[in-house]
Chain A
Amino acid sequence: MPTSHDPAFPLLELTGITKRFPGVLALDDMRLDLRAGEVHALMGENGAGKSTLIRVMAGAHRPDDGVLRIDGQAVRFASPRDAERAGISILYQELNLIPTLSVRENLFLGREKRFGPFLRHRKEHREAEAMFRQLNVSIDPNARCSSLSVARQQAVEIAKAISLKARILVMDEPTAVLTSNEIETLFKLIADLKAKGMGIVYVSHRMDEIFRLADRVTVMRDGKYVGTQPIGQVTRGKLIEMMVGRKLESEFPKQAAKLGEPRLVVKDLSRGHGVRGATFSIRRGEVLGLTGLVGAGRTELARLVFGADRPHRGSIELDGRALRIRSPRDAIAAGICLVTEDRKAQGLVLGRGCRENFGLPNLKAFGRIGFVRRRLERAKFADYVQSLRIKIPHQDERARNLSGGNQQKLVLAKWLQANSEVILFDEPTRGIDVGAKQEIYLLINGLADAGKAILLISSELPEVMGMSDRILVMREGQLVAEVTDVAGVTQEQLLTLAMPRGLE
């Protein structure tokens, strides 16, 4: 693939990029190089570190280690503005336009054309029109951004990038929200930009698109660099292998519990586009794994079962009884609980003490006529602190101050006290260190042993494969596959099932 630039001086080069967050090493000696006029795909599983890398390129995070070079010159970004000035533009998945302002206003945000203290609307308008003509899209600069389709909003962002004289464009899952027609338009745009010498980093899960657009592809895994290949020299299978290639750690202390009859039976559960016709069941003592890509609808499904959102269609039965779940209260009363994906924002009231959080769904059990018998609550909580090994200095320590693992255990304690029979785990070990993860796995085992029905939602394939009796794969709102032979399935197979079909 002929490029007009000497490969010795790539347009953008990242070497040795390392970024640490409390408890987590997001990027570990990561590297990437981008040539002018190239579309360079970036691939990796959920949690591989793609988002963090993008933010480093955007100047939003400063790497703890490593160098960024543009045209061979080392650069340091103190803020996203610096990155912008250096010619890097990011197209985020959640578009960054201000919906209430017009296209023109968004385009020139922060760099308005002025005549003294007055704005020059018409000049901006003309320039905007010129830009859109160049890009071959018809967009009215006076239109309100919120009235534009997503595809058009994307075009506006691209126009903005160009007008900022960007030479490097990073696109994060740009086609996730587009129809196939709009995707074609976008691809033409990209081809155009490529011809003009722009370097594009294209982050996506959609293999077909990558094979169609990219010149080279880089794979990352667990924050580390795995490899870079010219697109002609690599196959789908190879890419998946690169993305997933961990050896299955034997750290999943799964002990199959005795499985009984189905307890939770869900039929045709649906809500809009996010969850369509979900039908499944969980047996007594069973751990049902649910995996898929981010945005596939797993959390949405769990929320429907828990009553956090109202389904448009479908039924839920527990132990033979049909349930009418209109709110979390109904679900909790029926014995269903949800250990949320985001424990800080949804699982705990961070500003209150641990014991208070523990007691919140259980207060009726701790007293009569509206009073709370503190002594009873304290005693019960002490039991759980001991049995779950929650490390807290005292019972009233603010939940905010606990480590991730301990917070998760606190959430578990809360639900265990509520005598839940069906426990929906949504990414239970996210952001938790290895030791605490083990403890949680053991807890899950214990719950299964006790005859509970467990749903385990996880993006970590080894975890799902290690802890589940059966696995369901969800893709774009639908349950598309069921794996009963967990021991026999490979990570690659699961990932392939989870990947959207894209342009077929």
Chain B
Amino acid sequence: MRKFLSRSLNEYGMLLVLLLLCAYYACVTIKPSATDGPAGGESCAKLALSEMPAMHSAAIVVGTAADAIGFANAAKARLTAAGVGSIRVMQGGPPEVRQQLSQSIAASSAPDAILTTTQDAAWVERIQANLPAISRTLLVIPKVRRWPVFLTVQNLLNIGDQIAVIAVVAVGMTMVILTGGIDLSVGSLAALSAVAVSLMIRDWAGGVHAGTMAMLGCSLLAMAICGLVGVVSGSLITLFRVPPFIVTLAVMQIASGQANEWSKQQSIHDIPASFTWLGKGASLLGLPNTLVLMVLLYVLAHVLLSRMRLGRYIYAVGGNSEAARLSGVNVNWVILIVYFISGLSAGLGGLILTSELQTGSATYGVGLELFAIAAVVLGGTSLSGGEGNVIGTLIGAFIIAVLHNGMDLTDVNDARQRTVLGLVILGGVLADQLKRRPWSLPSWLVSRNVADSETKRSPAEKTLIEEKTI
């Protein structure tokens, strides 16, 4: 039983966490649906129409509340659109409305239905009771529905949209971390790409009048530049054996510096509106393009890692690069390729940002690398390499997005959001560690075989001890 539990938690732990988070935010953001104002009027009208499809005439009664006219107009518009011929709007206090109603009934016939707001329903009902002509008329009040704001389609798509940049960059980051490395330069590369593409569009493609092919060309070129920087990072790591942390840290600074120089520290706006197709458009079934791109990318990455040779090599290099080398894997190539991919995905992230804001700036992507790493780590990929998968990263990215979105919806202030996010990441990593070394406690808590665990670390002993514990 324990083994089953631990295995399920291992594989699906983070997914469970994500679902729990969603459930939590769904619960705490339940709001009654709007019953006044234009939204209320809209829904009231819809309700009326559904209850009486063959409506010919209607009366809309509103009191003197602030948004009463909004309610009335929206309802009227809805009904008109549905083909209701005669619509009378009456606004005022109870006596005026009563008078208007009586006059209306006298002039023509009683309306088929009376629409009113929730607050006014009480006295409208009394009026109705006192006017025999309409005492049996259908009175429609907007239905109060309770639904979590968190789970509205709008909000969910919003989440997907918010996370797109981080998720895209995290694809490349996952591969780098799988080989046991790290890429701290992705944030700066995103900025570099943003600056590069916008400069190219401005100076080479005609600025605001740039054509689609030209824009595409500039985008690909910008991505390629970032990929090239990735290759340089990878080369330094493999040729000179400099730790990835240092190399990519340095590259991060250099790239940021260059981005600032190229853009002369100004934002570049000369980009056609059509460029926002990627960042803001929604071509496929109304789904945001960024969401579609993200899903596509993850599918591709998953196929690469699970079904292609390169994927196997990546895991092997991360798991035990010496054993991989002795099995014929070209370890250096694999490392170069993953940093190339990381550069490309960072470049793509920058493109998305530029597309969303229709502006290129060297200030983009600050802190992006940390969120990307957080997504990867939350998704269960080990920082020492060789374990993990890209779907986990997607889940990790969503956890971050859901947290951020949920905290926004529940009005958590910015500072606290940061704290919470940090704690979640810490929790995720700790859980991951415990999973790897099942419930192992530090040696000073364990009294039994202290002798065997506290040995002088001479290499000969190390092997023997490994023999023993494995």
Given known A352-B319, A360-B328, contact A79–B456 (CB-CB < 8 A): no
Q: Is A274 an interface residue (CB 8 A)?
A: no
Q: Is A280 an interface residue (CB 8 A)?
A: no
Given known A345-B320, A345-B323, contact A372–B451 (CB-CB < 8 A): no
A-B Cβ contacts below 8 A, count? 134
Output the residue of B313, B323, B387, B459 with the most chain A CB within 10 A.
B323
Q: Is A222 an interface residue (CB 8 A)?
A: no
Query: Which residues in B have their C-beta under 8 angstroms from that of A356?
Result: 312, 315-316
The interface stretch among A89-97, A175-183, A260-268 is A89-97
Q: Is A3 an interface residue (CB 8 A)?
A: no
Q: Could you tell me which residues of chain A, from 318 to 353, have a CB within 8 Å of some CB in chain B?
A: 327-329, 332-333, 338, 340, 342, 344-352
Query: Which residues in A have their C-beta under 8 angstroms from that of B313?
Result: 360, 363
Given known A52-B464, A62-B451, A348-B320, contact A363–B309 (CB-CB < 8 A): yes
A372 close to B307 (CB less than 8 A): yes
Q: Could you tell me which residues of chain A, from 394 to 438, have a CB within 8 Å of some CB in chain B?
A: 400, 414, 418, 431
Q: Is B468 an interface residue (CB 8 A)?
A: yes
Q: Is A144 an interface residue (CB 8 A)?
A: no
Query: Which residues in A have their C-beta under 8 angstroms from that of B326?
Result: 306, 308, 328, 338, 340, 346-347
Q: Is B67 an interface residue (CB 8 A)?
A: no
A94 close to B316 (CB less than 8 A): no
B327 close to A94 (CB less than 8 A): no
Q: Is A73 an interface residue (CB 8 A)?
A: no
Q: Could you tell me which residues of chain A, from 50 to 77, have a CB within 8 Å of some CB in chain B?
A: 51-52, 55, 58-62, 77
Query: Which residues in A have their C-beta under 8 angstroms from that of B451?
Result: 59-62, 77-79
- Number of interface residues, chain A, beta carbon within 8 A: 54
Q: Is A126 an interface residue (CB 8 A)?
A: no
Output the residue of B386, B387, B451, B460 with the most chain A CB within 10 A.
B451
Query: Which residues in B have their C-beta under 8 angstroms from that of A333?
Result: 328
Residues of A within 8 A of B (CB): 21-22, 24, 51-52, 55, 58-62, 77-80, 90, 92-94, 96, 306, 308, 327-329, 332-333, 338, 340, 342, 344-352, 356, 359-361, 363-364, 367, 370-372, 374, 400, 414, 418, 431
Among residues of B, the one whose C-beta sits closest to the C-beta of A364 is B309
Given known A61-B451, A344-B466, A356-B315, contact A96–B327 (CB-CB < 8 A): no
A-B contact pairs, 29 of them (CB 8 A): A22-B468, A55-B455, A60-B454, A62-B449, A77-B451, A78-B450, A80-B455, A90-B456, A92-B456, A94-B458, A94-B459, A96-B458, A308-B325, A327-B330, A328-B326, A344-B466, A346-B323, A347-B326, A348-B323, A349-B320, A349-B323, A350-B470, A360-B316, A360-B328, A361-B327, A370-B308, A371-B309, A372-B308, A374-B307
Q: Is B329 an interface residue (CB 8 A)?
A: yes
B452 close to A346 (CB less than 8 A): no
A112 CA / B335 CA spacing, docked (Å): 45
Extra contacts, 19 of them, besides A21-B467, A80-B455 (Cβ < 8 A), are A55-B464, A60-B461, A77-B451, A79-B450, A79-B451, A79-B454, A306-B326, A308-B326, A332-B328, A345-B322, A350-B320, A351-B320, A352-B315, A352-B319, A352-B386, A363-B312, A371-B309, A372-B308, A414-B327
A348 CA / B386 CA spacing, docked (Å): 13
Q: Is B108 an interface residue (CB 8 A)?
A: no
Among residues of A, the one whose C-beta sits closest to the C-beta of B309 is A363
Query: Which residues in B have their C-beta under 8 angstroms from that of A359?
Result: 312
Q: Could you tell me which residues of chain B, from 403 to 462, have a CB within 8 Å of some CB in chain A?
A: 449-452, 454-456, 458-461
Interface mask (B298-336 → A, CB under 8 Å = 1, otherwise 0): 000000000111111101100110111111111000000
A170 CA / B286 CA spacing, docked (Å): 78
Query: Which residues in A have their C-beta under 8 angstroms from that of B307?
Result: 371-372, 374
Among residues of B, the one whose C-beta sits closest to the C-beta of A349 is B319
A329 close to B330 (CB less than 8 A): yes
Query: Which residues in B have their C-beta under 8 angstroms from that of A306?
Result: 326
A360 close to B459 (CB less than 8 A): no
Given known A52-B464, A308-B326, A328-B326, contact A349–B450 (CB-CB < 8 A): no
A349 close to B309 (CB less than 8 A): no
A189 CA / B269 CA spacing, docked (Å): 81
Q: Is B463 an interface residue (CB 8 A)?
A: yes
Among residues of A, the one whose C-beta sits closest to the C-beta of B453 is A79
Tell me the minimal C-beta distance from A255 to chain B in angstroms.
Answer: 30
B316 close to A349 (CB less than 8 A): yes
A216 CA / B122 CA spacing, docked (Å): 112
A360 close to B464 (CB less than 8 A): no
Tell me the minimal C-beta distance from A73 to chain B in angstroms.
Answer: 19
A24 CA / B464 CA spacing, docked (Å): 11
A308 CA / B325 CA spacing, docked (Å): 8
A372 close to B455 (CB less than 8 A): no
Among residues of A, the one whose C-beta sits closest to the C-beta of B451 is A62
A342 CA / B322 CA spacing, docked (Å): 11
Tell me the minimal C-beta distance from A29 to chain B in angstroms.
Answer: 20
Among residues of B, the one whose C-beta sits closest to the C-beta of A414 is B327
Query: Which residues in B have their C-beta under 8 angstroms from that of A51?
Result: 460-461, 464
Output the residue of B309, B452, B454, B455 with the most chain A CB within 10 A.
B309
**Which listed residue (A345, A348, A370) contacts B310, Cβ 8 A?**
A370
Among residues of B, the one whose C-beta sits closest to the C-beta of A343 is B323
Given known A346-B322, A414-B327, contact A372–B456 (CB-CB < 8 A): no
A109 CA / B324 CA spacing, docked (Å): 39
**Which listed residue (A60, A329, A345, A418) contacts B455, Cβ 8 A?**
A60
B452 close to A360 (CB less than 8 A): no
A-B pairs, 3 with minimum CB distance:
A349-B319, A60-B455, A332-B328
Among residues of A, the one whose C-beta sits closest to the C-beta of B320 is A349
Interface mask (B271-297 → A, CB under 8 Å = 1, otherwise 0): 000000000000000000000000000
A52 CA / B464 CA spacing, docked (Å): 9
A347 CA / B325 CA spacing, docked (Å): 10
Among residues of B, the one whose C-beta sits closest to the C-beta of A294 is B460
Query: Which residues in B have their C-beta under 8 angstroms from that of A361?
Result: 327-329
**Which listed residue (B309, B449, B461) contacts A367, Cβ 8 A?**
B309
Query: Which residues in B have their C-beta under 8 angstroms from that of A58?
Result: 456
**Which listed residue (B325, B461, B470) contacts A344, Cβ 8 A?**
B470
Tell me the minimal C-beta distance from A154 to chain B in angstroms.
Answer: 14
A356 CA / B328 CA spacing, docked (Å): 14
A94 CA / B387 CA spacing, docked (Å): 33
B468 close to A21 (CB less than 8 A): yes
A58 CA / B460 CA spacing, docked (Å): 14
A24 CA / B460 CA spacing, docked (Å): 17
A58 CA / B458 CA spacing, docked (Å): 12
B324 close to A349 (CB less than 8 A): yes
Among residues of A, the one whose C-beta sits closest to the C-beta of B382 is A351
Query: Which residues in A have their C-beta under 8 angstroms from that of B327?
Result: 328, 332, 360-361, 414
Given known A360-B328, A370-B310, A372-B309, contact A349–B386 (CB-CB < 8 A): yes
Tell me the minimal C-beta distance from B455 to chain A in angstroms.
Answer: 4
A86 CA / B328 CA spacing, docked (Å): 50
A93 close to B460 (CB less than 8 A): yes
B316 close to A352 (CB less than 8 A): yes
A24 CA / B316 CA spacing, docked (Å): 30
Among residues of A, the one whose C-beta sits closest to the C-beta of B330 is A329
Query: Which residues in A have their C-beta under 8 angstroms from that of B455?
Result: 55, 60-61, 80
Query: Which residues in B have their C-beta under 8 angstroms from that of A371?
Result: 307-309
Query: Which residues in A have their C-beta under 8 angstroms from that of B316?
Result: 349, 352, 356, 360
Query: Which residues in A have their C-beta under 8 angstroms from that of B322?
Result: 345-346
Query: Which residues in A have their C-beta under 8 angstroms from that of B467?
Result: 21-22, 24, 344, 431
A407 CA / B459 CA spacing, docked (Å): 22
Tell me the minimal C-beta distance from B348 to chain A in angstroms.
Answer: 21
Given known A332-B328, A340-B326, contact A372–B312 (CB-CB < 8 A): yes
**Which listed residue (A21, A332, A351, A364) contacts B386, Cβ 8 A?**
A351
Tell me the minimal C-beta distance from A343 to chain B in angstroms.
Answer: 9
Query: Which residues in B have their C-beta under 8 angstroms from that of A360?
Result: 312-313, 316, 324, 327-329
B387 close to A351 (CB less than 8 A): yes
A179 CA / B392 CA spacing, docked (Å): 57
Among residues of B, the one whose C-beta sits closest to the C-beta of A81 is B454
Query: Which residues in B have their C-beta under 8 angstroms from that of A22?
Result: 467-468
